[in-house]
Structures are given as C-alpha cells and as structure tokens.
Amino acid sequence: MNRSAPDGPGQTGDGPGGPLARPAAGPGTAVVGLGEEPDMLVQDFSLRHASWAVLNPLMLKLVRYDDAWRPWPELAERIPSVDNGDRRTLDDGRVEVRWRLRRGIRWHDGAPVTAHDALFTHELLTATPPPYPHHTVIAAISEMFVPRGDDHTLVVRYRADEPFAPYEEWGTVLPRHLLADAGLHDAGVREGHPFLRAPVFHGPFRFAEWKQGDRITLTAAGPHPAGSPHLQRIEFRFYPGPAELRAAALAGDVDVTDLTGFDTDDAAALDAAGDALSVHRTPSLTWEHIDINLDDPVLGRREVRHALAHGIDRREIADGPHGGRHPIADSWLPPRHPAAADVVRYPYDPDWAEALLDKAGLRRGSDGLRVGPDGQPLELDLLTTRPASPGGRWTASATRAEAARIVAAQLRRVGVRVRVRALPSDEAFPLIRRRRFPHLAMFAWSMGLETTGYLMWHSSKVPNDDEWYGINVSGWRCEENDRLLDALIEEHRLERRYELMRRQQRLWAEELPSLPLYFPVSVTTAKRRLRGIRPVGVFGCYATWNSWEWHWAADAEAM
C-alpha cells in the first residue's frame, strides 16, 4: 500500500513551488487517491465503489448523472422517454425501452461498438448464476434484440410482472469480439480471466497497468462524446484508511481524493493546508438510518417506533463521531433530491418519547428500564457494521459502531436498553440483507438517482434467501404504500413519478418503518490548479465521472 509521511508543520508546502501547487506526477497526469482498492474492473461482477470509480474514465455508460443530479446520455444518443417514442407499454403489459447507441464509438482495440455488444452482455449475465449486482433486473428482462439492419439500436422488453426493472440499470456493454467464448459466466473461469484486471473498454482513457496493492494507471484513448481528454494519464493510488489518504493529500502525493472516509477532523486539517487545496463537501444520496424489524411484536407498533425516533438525538450523532455538517434526514430522500417531500418530523424530545412509551404500556421498572405488561424487559439488539479487514467484500464507516453506542446511551435515558453488536462489514451485511437481525440494524444505503423506492419499500421486495435483490429489510407491508409504488412504476412521466414519490414519503414518515438519521456529506479534495473537478456525491457517480474535462491550469491562470 502507498503510505505518506504524517502531516506536520512545514510539510504541506502550499507555496508557489510547494507540492500542493504542482501536479503530483507531472502536468500531463492526475493522481487520484482512493481509500479502497478495486477487486476487479468489470462493473457487472464487482460490489466495490473503488471499481466503479476507476471504471468511470474507462467505459461509457448509457446514461450518467452530472454534478447537478441531472441525467444525460453518454453512450446513448438520447434518454428514452414516452415523448420521444423510445419508451412505451405494450398491449401485453410489458414495458419496451429502445436504446439508440452513438455511432462512431470504438473499443480501445479499434473495433466498433454496436448494439450487438450490449446484447452479448445481456446473454452473458443471463447465463451467470446469481447472485451478482443486477441479477434480478436481468431476470426481469423478457427479451432483448437488435432490429434487423440497425446495428446501433437495442430493444429491451421487461416482464409485466417485474414492473420495477425498467427504472434500474441492467448492466454495462462488454466487447462481444473479445469475450464471446471466454466463459465468464463460470465463476471459476471469471476469477482467473485477464479481462477483469486488464479490460478493454470504450471510454476516454484506456487501461495501462495495475500494480496490486499500489496503483492503477490509465492513459488517454481518444475523444469522449462530450470532448477529448486534456490529460495524458490518470493514476489511481490506494490507501488503507482516511489517515493515510489525508497525509497523502497534505503532502501533495495525490491531486484528487475520493472514497475518503474523511471526518470533521480530517476536513479541518485539509482546510488548513492553504489556498492551493480545495476541500469539497458534497451533499450525498447516501442514507444513514436504522432499519426496524417489524416482525417484532413491540416494534411493530407505530407509537413505539415514534417514541424511539423522539428518543434519538440525530444532531448529536451527525455532529459527533460522523463529523458534523451532515443534513439531518426526515425521510429516505435528501432535501436536494427533486422528489424530496415535506414530511412529519420527529425532533429530539425525550419527554415525549417517555410519554409515548408509557402510553404503549412499556413502563419503567424498579431499575429504571422499560418492561411490558407481561413484566418482560424491553431489550433491543442493535446490529451495526465496523470495517472489515483489507480486501473484504463490503465497506463500512469506521465510526458507525461509535454512533450506535451513542444511540444506545440516548435510548437508555428513556428506559430502553439497547445491546450493540458491531460486526465486520463482511459479516454484518449478509445478515442485514437477509433480515437476520432481531430488532434494529444501523447502516447506510448508497442510492443512485434512478431510485424509485420500489425495491426499498414495496412488500414484494422483503428479502429472504430467494429474494436477494429486494432491500425492504424492515419488512414493511402496507397496502397503501404498495398502491403508491405500483402507480409510480407504471408512470413513465418523470414529474408525475416525483409527485408519487412525495406522497409515498409522507406516508412513510407517518408509519416510520425505519429511523432516519442523516445524509453524510462526501468530503473530497482536489488541488486548485487541477480544473474541472465537479463531485456528484451519488452512488456510481464518483469524482472521475467527467475526467476528460480535467486539465492543469497554467501558472498565470492559477494565480
């Protein structure tokens, strides 16, 4: 792993000739420091954010989102819609989406990119045994084909009984001419295949080298649909944690940082580095929350959930171990989202929490802790995550376990005993995803801007051993909510979908199947002389999303 010397007086060098005022590896290169290393470089099989961050410059996606959270077509010529005729509902209830790929796009080996490559990718994933990230969406595709005589149009038809799928990403575009006979559907073959660690794609940068545990290097490949890259190289360097990444940023060893895990102390140290370093605090679509297992008879009562919400001081959590400056969550969408709603709020009010618990028949015993009418104590288990060992499959906040202990202390003040169980993320997430926690689970969902809420809250998406893709891990079953979500995914017009999402959030906030905490602000950095850095703060949209625009300012421009 790369490791920089700890920062200290005189080491940041932010003067005219200091390391923060010049490129880490020369004017033709940008060095990106990540707090995680990819496991592979094929999105369809990877669950690591770092893989997607490295892939952003390597490959084009059909549609991306910019820093204003607006969708824009990249590999596609336009975004399919009812108005342009590329999205429609067939007589049999299936949704048809027609993708028109840009002409003139080539793989990095010179072969043309066509719709047949997208069709091949679907065929590969269909043959791949689950689970993998989008396997349920792939299974929801009824048919996919390339119309005769039009190699740049792809028609996707979705099963009528899986109406959520047209709003989800179904996969990337892989090269048929390189992988058609590779057998990547077999996990054993996939594990050792060189493409996953030295891929050929179609983005503005091409893969050059991967030194495991150290760095990945990309080189300029040619024009992006929105412009030619200014840089000749992008180099990704990997660091084992926020402290090492912060030291690298302060020493000038990296030009950009992402997936940082930086907290308030890190941000303050970076702010103090001088004008040569920009510290970006980007509102995110990551939702920290506590899911409630509604199968528990006590937690299944709405007044008890309301009491827990009033008994938790979310501001103390957001300002404490998680670093502060994070927007408090009142629902599962942040205020910045175009579908955000004005919902009922649950301010910190321990007196009201006590009154609600009393009303629910959960009175304090002789030891001050709550007991039910049957005399049984109210004791709740809170499962949360702590970082796994390096190389683990899942990532987790380094401070979440401490935040869980704060929650436990707050609820203890209103008479509720909470036992915190913090497991390595590789152990905790499989339990959470399959609802194998008795009471509470504290973690975060990282959402994309295409989210509708269907997978998170529809009763058909309560996960079990068969339903891996559904993430309604609270087990919320509500007929009115299902009706809203059913209407939502049948509605093709964006503004109407947003209005249905607002109605769903208002109902959600009244029922409170989960306890919202806050939306973490993503803290990243960039040297000021490196222009074009526009963080997005959304899952799948990392700092590298517009890397073809990055360029180093000349000395006179940088003044």
Please measure the distance between the N-terminal and C-terminal CA atoms of the chain and give it in whole angstroms.
35
Same domain, 93 and 24: no
Residues 403 and 501 in one domain: yes
| pLDDT, position 16 | 61
The residue-averaged pLDDT of 351-368 equals 95
pLDDT at 12 over 70: no
Q: What is the pTM of this model?
A: 0.85
H or E, element range at 401: helix 400-412
Q: Tell me how far apart the alpha carbons of residues 214 and 240 are, in angstroms, rounded to a whole number.
A: 10
Residue-number span of the structural domain to which 102 is assigned: 63-179
Mean pLDDT, residues 343-347 taken together: 97
- Residue 194, in any domain of the structure: no
- Name the residue with higher pLDDT: 136 or 41: 41
User: Is the pLDDT assigned to residue 27 strictly greater than 70?
Assistant: yes
Neighbour-count burial for 63-99, b at 16+ CB within 10 Å, e otherwise: bbbebebeeebbbbeeebeeeeebbebeeeebbbbbb
**Domain identity same for 392 and 415:** yes
The three-class DSSP label of residue 441 is: strand
CB 299 within 8 Å of CB 349: no
Residue 53, both tokens = 């961050």
Q: Are 290 and 512 in contact (CB under 8 A)?
A: no
CA contacts within 13 A on the Cβ side of 30:
32
Please indicate, yes or no, if residue 3 is contained in any of the structural domains.
Answer: no
Q: Checking phi first, is residue 323 left (phi over 0); if not, alpha (psi -120 to 50) or beta?
A: left
| 325 and 433 share one domain | yes
Look at the block and give the residue holding tokens 């400056």.
325
pLDDT tens digits along 74-108:
999 999 999 999 999 999 999 999 999 999 999 99
Confidence of residue 171 (pLDDT cuts 50, 70, 90): confident
Tell whether the model's pLDDT for residue 322 goes beyond 80.
Answer: no
What distance in Å separates the CA atoms of residue 242 and residue 262, rounded to the nearest whole number?
6
Residue 349 located in a structural domain? yes
Residues 468 and 358 in one domain: yes
Q: Is residue 1 part of a domain?
A: no
Split into its structural domains, the chain has a count of: 3
Residue 392 has pLDDT above 70, yes or no: no
Residue, of 493 and 127, whose pLDDT is higher: 127
pLDDT at 486 over 80: yes
Task: State yes or no: pLDDT of 557 exceeds 60.
Answer: no
How do residues 215-243 score in pLDDT, each as one tens digit? 999 999 999 999 999 999 999 999 998 99
Tell me the chain's radius of gyration from C-alpha atoms.
24
Are residues 171 and 249 both part of a single domain?
A: no
pLDDT of 450 strictly over 60: yes
* Pair (162, 249) in one structural domain: no
Report, as an integer, the average pLDDT of 421-441. 92
Evaluate whether residue 244 is within a structural domain: yes
The overall longest dimension of the chain from CA atoms, in Å, is 80
Lowest mean pLDDT across 35-44, 105-114, 322-331, 431-440: 322-331
Residue that wins the pLDDT comparison between 492 and 183 = 183
Say what the pLDDT of residue 7 is. Answer: 39
- CATH number for the domain that contains residue 338: 3.10.105.10
Q: What would the DSSP string read from start to end of 261-286?
A: ---HHHHHHHHTT-TTEEEEEEE-SE
- Are the C-beta atoms of 261 and 397 separated by less than 8 Å? yes
Of 146, 179, 212, which residue is a domain's last? 179
Task: Band the pLDDT of 2: cuts 50, 70, 90.
Answer: very low
Structure tokens at 502: 């607002």
Rounded mean pLDDT of the chain?
Answer: 90
Backbone angles phi, psi at 386, to 5 degrees: -135, 155
CB 307, CB 481: distance < 8 Å = no
Please enumerate in sequence order all residues whose Cβ is within 8 A of that of 528, keeping only pairs 6 or more positions apart, or say none: 275, 276, 277, 278, 553, 558
380 and 474 both lie in a single domain:
yes
**Residues 103 and 217 grouped into a single domain:** no
Write a three-state SS string for 295-330.
CCCCCCCHHHHHHHHHCCCHHHHHHCCCCCCCCECC
Round to whole Å and give the CA distance between 169 and 99. 13
- Contact assessment for residue 378 and residue 370, using Cβ atoms and an 8 Å cutoff: yes
Q: Which residue among 179, 213, 231 closes a domain? A: 179
The answer to whether position 160 is within a domain reads: yes
Clarify whether residues 376 and 264 are in a common domain: no
Mean pLDDT of 153-181: 91
d(CA 490, CA 501): 13
Residue 347 and residue 267 share a domain: no
Domain membership of residue 77 (yes or no) is: yes
Q: Is 105 within a domain?
A: yes
Beginning with the edge strand found earlier in the chain, give each strand of the sheet holding 277-283 in spatial order: 205-211, 215-220, 233-238, 29-34, 256-258, 521-527, 277-283
Domain check: are 482 and 554 in the same one?
no
Alpha-carbon dihedral 466, 138, 168, 514, rounded to 10 degrees: 10
- Cβ-proximal residues to 487 (8 Å cutoff; 6+ apart), any chain: 500
